[in-house]
Amino acid sequence: MTDQENRTADRASALPAVADRATFQAELDKLRVREKAHTREGDAIAAARRRLPMVEVAADLELTGPDGPVTLLEAFEGRSQLIAYYFMWHHGHPAAEQCEGCTWVTTQVEELSYLHSRDITYAVFCQGPYEASRRYRDFMGWDVPWYSAVPSQDVLLVGRHVGMMHLVCYLRDGDRIFETYWTTLRGVEAMDYSYALMDLTVYGRQELWEDSPSGWPRVQGTPADHVRLRSNGRPIPQWSRLEAGRSDDLTPRP
């Protein structure tokens, strides 16, 4: 049997109980109470986030962009706020061995006009050299602003684990810049919609840590295998790029 046939067979025995419409709706109504409480708590957490103090960051910290060195201030593109995603980078490794987690979340961020309408710039600050990482961005077909944070990443991520994914929010007051919030690991799921949609389905994300009924399908392999975000040795969305004829050669051109 093919992998798809095996998955279909596994799921044939993993089914919720069947109920009539009235029973189904009654159970959903009970769950809706918890969902609404979760939404209200999320709103309360966001309100607390807006009341955090902020810390000043040097506006002249150097990044590398398409035309060479730029400052952190210039990365704002004239807007008052900046959201920067610090993309992990495995220096000297081919595209297939780049971070599947960073590829996952960056693939989700496409339309920036809604952010721009609120005076927010979004950009990727890659923790690797500009030329090789830009070629990865081009291979993936991403249009988001892209910089290398290497010249200043130890200062930009002071007190944190350089080399790990981070999502950082900044505020500009004239020519002064302040950091207002940062998160990492599962906090970067704020960028994702695929997992959010999976969470609505009966089988969820199908990950090992989830609390699901016995027999529910799971992504096979240990968490260390990263299989949930990889397929046949590559981050999942790379395969469609290869099929479209794009080169995943990251070697900088002379």
Q: Which residues contact 49 (CB under 8 A, 6 or more apart)?
A: 181
Distance, CA of 81 to CA of 168 (rounded, Å): 11
Picking from 145, 182, 154, 172, the residue whose alpha carbon sits closest to that of residue 59 is: 172
What local confidence, expressed as pLDDT, does residue 124 receive?
Answer: 98
Measure Cα distances from 222 to 39, 91, 212, 235, 244 in Å. 32, 25, 17, 16, 31
User: pLDDT for 180-222, tens place per residue?
Assistant: 999 999 999 999 999 999 999 999 999 888 999 999 998 876 6
Beta strands in the chain (DSSP E): 55-57, 62-65, 68-71, 81-87, 120-126, 146-148, 166-173, 176-184, 230-231, 234-235
Q: Which residue has the tokens 């080169």?
A: 247
Q: Where do the structural domains in the chain lie, given as residue ranges? A: 54-249
- Note the pTM of the prediction, 2 decimals: 0.90
Nearest to 57 by CA among 71, 68, 43: 71
Contact 91, 136 (CB under 8 A): no
81-87/166-173 β-pairing = antiparallel
Contact 105/84 with Cβ under 8 angstroms?
Answer: no
- CATH 3.40.30.10 matches 54-249: yes
Ordered per-residue pLDDT tens for the chain, 254 residues:
444 555 555 566 789 999 999 999 999 999 999 999 999 999 999 999 999 999 999 999 999 999 999 999 999 999 999 999 999 999 999 999 999 999 999 999 999 999 999 999 999 999 999 999 999 999 999 999 999 999 999 999 999 999 999 999 999 999 999 999 999 999 999 999 999 999 999 999 998 889 999 999 988 766 555 668 888 889 999 999 999 999 999 987 76
Token readout for 254 is: 């002379």
Q: Tokens representing 12?
A: 């044939």
